[in-house]
């Protein structure tokens, strides 16, 4: 890794963004926006996030922002968009995953992505269902934080599949189990899925607007509740963004403890998923066993750190909890026990004919499709793409922990199970490494003043994938703009591809093998 190498993209004046991950920003015009995006794509880069901001109150225009993952680090482009003509060049031909992000940016800020011929790639609302009118854009400055907007018609035009014997199955938003709400429209022949179209946004609760009524310090708590299952990853990404803005350096001890908590979050979620996947595959024994192991871990979290899911433990400037020698010993004992339990259960899962029958070749996402869609996290690693921010660009302390990336090439449900097992084992090892070499030092560094108008970024490999937080400071220590970005934005469209040709009854299993966040992407 060479953190100082600049992404070689022509025609841009790159300015480094201070912080824990290598990142640059550049202002562009409509031309360089597209050529830079194409340059990144040519060099194997990915779109990490896209969002819009409103600078009119500061005498500027609107802007659309795109963050790209390159081999060197994160490249953030900013394109000013005038109020008189609120359009910008569409990125979805280069990056299909941009489509929903652009639709969300239109719903919230009213900026339109346009093709070369001037048309919009998809003019349907995404986050706006019927809660407000199409000509209102709630993230604009003139809409008050507590505003109640008039409702509108909530019709949504699904893409119709026609042909002999084709029928539709509509599922949701309320699902049959304890699951988050969303709508799935299947077009099927018999029980084979021809096409799945997702309609999400049901959980949209105005998180980005809410951020703007908070101070930078208060924002940490909200960031930790964007997607509750990834609270450590979000809190860390937010803290990283704010620390970069304010020039604060958390102590090595705080960073190592954050990594400990992040790995505990990863293990707990993987245990939950492995149990649920066994259950959906017809092995209820797996759910009972893995949910027991997960509960043991959550209880230790509660005892040692005061919260089962570790909410609000990672804070700007450092960490809110410490670990004494006795507590470290307890975690090491847990590691040993958990590793033995996982080995027994892995042997059962891998030998189980019923699970093999359900999982192998089911819900395949091939490596080419995964790359085209910009898939991240567990799903990418199970489809042949060894991408993991802990290894590359390798933010502290992972650059000192020799993190091994788990990966698999088959891209099926079985591959996503294997990757979870391997990552759980690796996270156990990482915990042991962290505890053996945990540096001494302060837990909290004072967070300095964040210059108004400046952007910071945080980018953390959560258990599901890359969590990105882009944060702009306002005056008086307030949040001016915050965009938290969940890996589910990239991975939801991949689920639509993975189910093609499978039978409807396998959908719950395939869906669970991705286990994407609705809350995280609905905001």
Partner 1 sequence: MYKILFQLARTGRITERAPRPDETLRQAATPFGADLLRLLGRALAVRHVDAGSCNGCELEIHATNNPYYNLEGLGIKFVASPRHADLLLVTGPVSRNMEEALRRTYDAMPDPKLVVAIGDCGCDGGIFGENYASCGRVANVIPVNVAVPGCPPEPAAIIRGILTAVTAAARS
CA atoms within 13 A on the CB side of 324: 3
CB 382 within 8 A of CB 415: yes
Min dist CB 154 to partner 1, Å, is: 8
With respect to partner 1, which residue has the nearer C-beta, 301 or 502? 301
Positions touching partner 1 (CB under 8 A) are 129-132, 138, 143, 145-149, 151, 154, 173-174, 176-181, 201-207, 209-210, 221-222, 225-229, 231, 272, 285, 288-289, 291-292, 294-295, 298, 302, 308-309, 311, 344-345, 347-348, 351, 517-519, 522
Cis previous bond, 287, omega within 30: no
Nearer to partner 1, 119 or 344 (CB): 344
For 163-179, b/e burial (b = at least 16 CB within 10 A) is eeeeeeeeebbeeeeee
CA distances, 123 to each of 139, 186, 311, 329 (Å): 18, 21, 38, 56
**Nearer residue to partner 1 within complex by CB, 3 or 284:** 284
Q: How far is the CB of 517 from partner 1 (least distance, A)?
A: 6
Beta bridge mates, 169: 186
Q: Strand 74-81 vs strand 23-27: parallel, antiparallel, or unpaired?
A: parallel
Taking the complex as a whole, the smallest distance from the CB of residue 194 to partner 1 amounts, in Å, to 25
Q: How many CA atoms lie within 13 A of 6 on its CB side?
A: 12
Whole-angstrom distance, CA of residue 217 vs CA of residue 315: 8
Give least dist CB 229 to partner 1, A: 6
Q: Which is nearer to partner 1, 78 or 218 (CB)?
A: 218
Q: Which is nearer to partner 1, 175 or 432 (CB)?
A: 175
* Minimum distance of partner 1 from residue 25's CB (angstroms): 29
Nearer to partner 1, 189 or 347 (CB): 347
Strand partners, 23: 74
Which region, left, alpha or beta, applies to residue 220 given φ > 0 means left and ψ of -120 to 50 means alpha? Answer: alpha
**Least gap, CB of 138 to partner 1 (angstroms):** 5
d(C-alpha 229, C-alpha 462), whole Å: 10
Question: Would you say 267 and 274 are in contact if contact means Cβ atoms under 8 Å apart?
Answer: no
Q: What sign for the dihedral angle of Cα 304, 308, 310, 313?
A: negative
Give the Å distances, CA to CA, from 450 to 201, 219, 460: 32, 14, 21
- Bridge partners of residue 75, in order along the sequence: 24, 68
**What single DSSP character describes residue 199?**
E
E strand map for 164-246: 166-171, 183-189, 192-199
Of 291 and 361, the one with the shorter C-beta distance to partner 1 is 291
Nearer to partner 1, 343 or 409 (CB): 343
Nearer to partner 1, 84 or 146 (CB): 146
- What is the nearest approach in angstroms of partner 1 to the Cβ of residue 279? 10
> CB atoms < 10 A from the CB of 44, how many?
10
Residue 259 backbone dihedrals phi, psi, to 5 degrees? -65, -40
Question: Closest approach of Cβ 395 to partner 1, in Å?
Answer: 24
Is 140 in contact with 54 (CB distance < 8 Å)?
Answer: yes
- 148/436 with CB nearer partner 1: 148
Q: What whole-number distance in Å separates Cα of residue 97 and Cα of residue 134?
A: 23
Euclidean distance between the first and the last CA atom of the chain, given in angstroms as a whole number: 33
Q: Nearer to partner 1 by C-beta: 30 or 149?
A: 149
Minimum CB–partner distance for residue 260 and partner 1 (Å): 20
The pair of three-digit structure tokens given for residue 105, joined into one six-digit string: 């940016």
């Amino acid at each position: 890794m060479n953190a100082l190498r600049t992404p070689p993209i022509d025609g841009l004046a790159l300015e480094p963004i201070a912080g824990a991950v290598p990142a640059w920003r550049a202002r562009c015009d409509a031309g360089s926006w597209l050529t830079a995006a194409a340059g990144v794509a040519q060099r194997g880069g990915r779109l990490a996030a896209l969002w819009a901001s409103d600078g009119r109150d500061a005498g500027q225009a609107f802007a659309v922002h795109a963050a790209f993952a390159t081999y060197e680090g994160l490249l953030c482009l900013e394109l000013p968009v005038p109020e008189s003509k609120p359009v910008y060049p569409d990125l979805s031909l280069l990056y299909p995953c941009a489509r929903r992000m652009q639709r969300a940016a239109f719903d919230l800020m009213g900026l339109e992505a346009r093709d070369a011929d001037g048309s919009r790639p998809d003019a349907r609302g995404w986050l706006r269902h019927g809660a407000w009118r199409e000509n209102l854009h709630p993230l604009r400055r003139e809409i008050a934080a507590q505003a109640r907007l008039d409702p509108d018609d909530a019709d949504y035009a699904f893409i119709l599949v026609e042909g002999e014997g084709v029928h539709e199955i509509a599922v949701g938003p309320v699902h049959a189990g304890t699951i988050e709400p969303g709508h799935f429209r299947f077009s099927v022949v018999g029980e084979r899925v021809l096409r799945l179209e997702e309609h999400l946004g049901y959980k949209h609760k105005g998180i980005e607007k809410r951020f703007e009524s908070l101070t930078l310090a208060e924002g940490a708590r909200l960031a930790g509740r964007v997607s509750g299952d990834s609270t450590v990853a979000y809190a860390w990404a937010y803290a990283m963004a704010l620390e970069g803005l304010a020039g604060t350096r958390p102590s090595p001890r705080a960073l190592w403890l954050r990594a400990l908590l992040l790995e505990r979050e990863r293990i707990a979620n993987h245990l939950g998923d492995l149990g649920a996947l066994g259950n959906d595959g017809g092995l209820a024994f797996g759910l009972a066993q893995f949910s027991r192991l997960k509960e043991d871990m959550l209880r230790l979290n509660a005892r040692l750190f005061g919260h089962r899911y570790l909410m609000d433990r990672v804070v700007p400037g450092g960490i809110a909890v410490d670990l004494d020698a006795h507590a470290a010993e307890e975690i090491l004992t847990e590691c040993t026990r958990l590793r033995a339990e996982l080995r027994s259960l892995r042997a059962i899962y891998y030998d189980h004919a019923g699970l093999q029958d359900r999982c192998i070749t089911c819900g395949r996402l091939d490596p080419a499709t995964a790359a085209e869609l910009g898939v991240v996290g567990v799903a990418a690693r199970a489809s042949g793409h060894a991408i993991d921010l802990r290894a590359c660009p390798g933010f502290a302390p992972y650059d000192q922990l020799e993190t091994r990336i788990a990966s698999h090439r088959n891209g099926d449900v079985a591959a996503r199970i294997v990757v979870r097992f391997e990552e759980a084992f690796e996270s156990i090892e990482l915990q042991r490494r962290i505890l053996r070499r945990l540096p001494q030092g302060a837990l909290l560094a004072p967070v300095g003043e964040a210059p108004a108008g400046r952007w910071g970024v945080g980018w953390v490999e959560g258990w599901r994938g890359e969590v990105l937080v882009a944060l702009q400071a306002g005056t008086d220590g307030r949040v001016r703009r915050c965009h938290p970005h969940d890996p589910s934005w990239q991975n939801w469209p991949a689920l639509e591809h993975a189910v093609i040709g499978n039978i409807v009854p396998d959908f719950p299993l395939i869906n669970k093998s991705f286990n994407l966040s609705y809350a995280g992407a609905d905001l």
